[in-house]
Amino acid sequence: MKKILVLCTGNSCRSQLAEGFLRHFAGERAEIYSAGIEKHGVNPKAVAVMAESGIDISAHTSNLLDEYKAIDFDYLITVCDHARESCPLFITDATRFHFNFPDPAKATGTPEEIFDEFRNVRDQIKTYCADFAKKYLSDN
């Protein structure tokens, strides 16, 4: 079984969304973890937009990268440039992937505009995770 770590700055939005979708698309084919360079807590808007997609991440926790030093990961996915730049601090032989998704927590505007940005980022991450699972976790 593959082990995947999704890494972001605060482990509050993007990495949480990716963890939820990767768990969904990978099923029993992988163990999925997420962490941050810092720990900001799971963003309630991330929980809400995932619930709209039928995925419950309300029990997720915000974790620091150091908590996973002892795990031998197969894949490391960074979902923001800050995390990628900090990755050399995390020694691993894992195959590394990177995609810099916008940070929905930085969205401004009306409450609906902010939620729309969370939905937009959620949908980008969903597509990325579906493609990743198909390419790297397929049974073929």
Strands (E), 1-140: 2-8, 30-36, 75-78, 95-98
| Dist. CA 6–CA 127, nearest whole Å | 15
Tally of CB atoms within 10 A around 93: 9
User: Do 50 and 64 form a contact (C-beta atoms < 8 A)?
Assistant: no
Q: How many residues does the chain have?
A: 140
Tally of CB atoms within 10 A around 90: 20
> Which positions are catalytic?
8, 80, 87
SS3 (DSSP) at 123: helix
| Dist. CA 54–CA 35, nearest whole Å | 22
